[in-house]
Amino acid sequence: MADVLADVVRDWQALPDPVIAIEHDREILMLDDGLVKVARERTRAARLPHNVAREHFEGHILNTLTDMVAERIGTDPFDGTNLLDPSDITQIRDELAENPEVWAAIDQLWPRLTPQRLVADFLADPVGYLPDEDAAAIRRPVTRGWTVADVPLLDEAAELLGVDERLARARAERERETQVAYAQGVLDVSYASRTYEFDDKDEEDSEVLSAHDIIDAERFAERQEEDDHRSAAERAAADRTWAFGHIIVDEAQELSPMAWRLLMRRSPTRSMTLVGDPAQTAEAAGVGSWQKILEPYVQDRWEHARLGVNYRTPAEIMELAAAVVRAQNPGFEPPSSVRSTGVRPWVRATDDLPGAVAEAVKELTPAEGRLAVIAPRHLHRRLAARLDGVTAGAEPDLTRTVVLLDPRQSKGLEFDSVLVVEPGLYGTSDLYVALTRATQRLGVLHTGRLPKALADTAVPGIVKT
C-alpha cells in the first residue's frame, strides 16, 4: 500500500493536456508537455516530499517561462544573441512571479496537497491502483468519516507529502505581525492616556518615563509569548512526528503492515515490546508471522519469548478453544492452563434463540461476578429485548453484571461466565477469542451449523445436549 500511495502522489504531478496557455504582457506563453516533463523530472530527481519539492518545480517553471520571454523580446535580429543583461532577466522573472495565470498553471501541474485530500481521493476511486477485488473492498466516500484503518494511510501520506516550510514561515510571520500590531496599540493607548500632575514648573520640567520610553512593540510582544507548560504526553499527542524511546504494543497481531510502518517511524532505535497472539488475529491485514513483519526493519535483531502459561482460562475451556484453532492450524500449541474448575463447557442447539439465551443467562450468571453474552452484531437487538438489565452498544457499561458484546468487542476482556451465540457465524480467530474470555464457565448456543471442532463430540470437555 505504501507503493500505491506513492504512485497516487506521482499522478498528482501532472502534464499539460496538451498545452497550457498563459497570457503575459499581452503575449501568450505555451507550456507543452515536453517542457513540463523536463521540469517535473528535474524536480523528482531531488527526491523530496511532494509539497517540499513544489518550490523546486516552481523555480523550473518560472525559469522556463523567463527563457521564453527573454528569447522573444531580447534576441538580436541580426546575430541572434540576447541583448538582455542579468538585471533584465531578473525583472522578467519577478514579473512572471506576479502573474496569477502562472500560479494557476503551477497549481494545476503540481498542486499543494494535504494527507486528508490525498487519501480521500484515493479511497473514493482506487480503481487502477489495486486489483479490482481489493479496490471494491476499500472504495468508499470519506464523508462517512475516518476509520482507525485510515490512520496509517494518512500518516504515510503525510510522509510522502511533507510540509512546505514557506507556508509555515509565512503563517508564523503573519501571527508575529498581528502580535506586534496589538502590542503597539497597547503602547499607543498607554501613551495617549498618560497624565501629568505637578505642583510647580520645576517638576513639570523633570524627566518622566512611560512604557513607551523603555520598550518597543516588538519586545513587548515577545514578553507576552506564553511558555509551553504541556506535559510530554500532551506534546507528543499534538506532534505527528514525535519519536519515542520505547514503544509497547498490545494486541500487536492486529496491526497491518502500514501500521507497522507508522510505528517504526516513531521508534528510531527500534526499541519495542510487542505483545500479541496470532491465534487471535481478527483483522485481514494482521500478523501472520512475526518474522515477516519485523525482518524488514530489524533483520534478525529481535527475540521471541513465548508465554506458555495461561492463568485465566481453565483447562476444560482451553482444550475446546485449542481444538477450534487446530482445525485450521494443526500445529497450534496453546498455553497450558494452570488450573481446572471441574466445570465442563456445554454446547446446545435450539429453535428459539432469544428464549434459550434468556434461560442460559439465568443459568450462567454467577452470584458474584459478571457474564458476557457474545453474539454476532446483527442479533444484538433481538437478544437485548429478552435480557433484563443487559448493557450493549458501541460502548457498553462493563461494570454491569450482564453485558452483550460482539467478538471484536470482547477482545482483551475477561468474565466469570461467557455465553457464545451462533459460533458458526464467526471466523476462527473471533471464535477463539470468544471462547477464551471465560474464567469459570462457558456455554454455547446455536441454531445453525456448528464449526467442526464444536460439532465433534469426541473433543474433551464438551457436554452436548
Going from the first residue of the chain to its last (465 residues), give the mean pLDDT of each consecutive group of 10, the final group possibly shorter.
Answer: 96 95 93 95 96 96 94 76 84 95 96 96 94 93 88 97 80 75 72 57 54 64 68 88 93 91 95 87 71 92 89 91 86 87 91 94 84 95 91 90 93 93 91 93 91 70 62
pLDDT of residue 231: 87
pLDDT of residue 207: 59
Element holding 464 (H helix, E strand): strand 463-464
Cβ neighbours of residue 366 closer than 8 Å, sequence gap 6 or more: 416, 417, 440, 441
Q: The cell 494452570 sits on which residue? A: 338
Burial of 127 (0-12, 13-18, 19+ CB in 10 A): exposed
The pTM assigned to this predicted structure is 0.75
Torsion angle, CA of 73/79/85/88, rounded to 10 degrees?
A: 0
Cβ neighbours of residue 7 closer than 8 Å, sequence gap 6 or more: 129
Opening angle at CA 384, ends 382 and 389, nearest 5:
160
pLDDT of residue 456: 74
Cβ–Cβ under 8 Å, residues 446 and 347: yes
Cα separation of 252 and 438, whole Å?
Answer: 22
Residue-wise DSSP of 299-363: TT--------EESSS-HHHHHHHHHHHHTT-TT--PPEES---S---EEEE-S-HHHHHHHHHHH
pLDDT of residue 458: 47
pLDDT of residue 233: 87
Cα separation of 329 and 392, whole Å?
Answer: 33
Q: The cell 463430540 sits on which residue? A: 457
- Preceding amide of 366 cis, omega within 30: no
Cα separation of 287 and 62, whole Å?
Answer: 49
Cα separation of 430 and 450, whole Å?
Answer: 14
Cβ neighbours of residue 230 closer than 8 Å, sequence gap 6 or more: 238
Query: Which has the closest alpha carbon to 49: 77, 9, 15?
Result: 9
Element holding 293 (H helix, E strand): helix 290-298
